[in-house]
Amino acid sequence: MAWRHVLLFSCLSALVVLSVLQEGAGASVRSRQVVGQETQKGGEQKIFMQESDASNFLKRRSKRSPKSQDEVNAENRQKARADELRREYYEEQRNEYENFVEEQNDEQEERSREAIEQWRQWHYDGLYPSYLYNRHHI
């Protein structure tokens, strides 16, 4: 007799749970419909799109479907433009560095030339070319 009570109680509780779930699902659907109607009535802000439009949008191209030729061309143009900008940037940097190095070398050559000229003037003994450079080692 006790097992009949347990069986009856479990069936009634399952029936109550199912009825609550049905009411909850109906309430959530109703609230979504009300929200959709309010957004359509407002008309100022279109945040949500129609369900048919959304499904068409998702059916049009999924993640695994091939890209259209227009998409491929646009991506290739973007990549080519990025490569061109990168190439121009590095070429400009290289030119600036080369100019800097050339200026440094010119300055160094000028300083060493001046130092050599001063040394020659200081050590000049009146003979041309100077005696120090024409010595013969015996």
Encode pLDDT of 79-108 as tens digits. Answer: 999 999 999 999 999 999 999 999 999 999
The pair of structure tokens assigned to 56 is 């068409």
Task: Report how many domains make up the chain.
Answer: 1
Residue 82 maps to a domain: yes
Is pTM beyond 0.75 here? no
Alpha helices, DSSP H, located in 43-128? 51-60, 69-123
Structural domain contains residue 58:
no
User: Residue 103: which residues within 8 A CB-CB, separation 6 or more?
Assistant: none
Q: Is residue 94 in some structural domain?
A: yes
Within a domain: residue 38? no
Residue 86 domain-assigned (yes or no) = yes
8-14: long-range pairs with CB below 8 Å, 24+ = none
Domain-embedded: residue 44 = no
55 assigned to some structural domain: no
In a domain, 97, yes or no: yes
Spatial neighbors of 124 by CB under 8 A, at least 6 apart, are 130
Domain that holds residue 87: 69-137
pLDDT digits (tens, 9 = 90+) for 65-77: 788 899 899 999 9
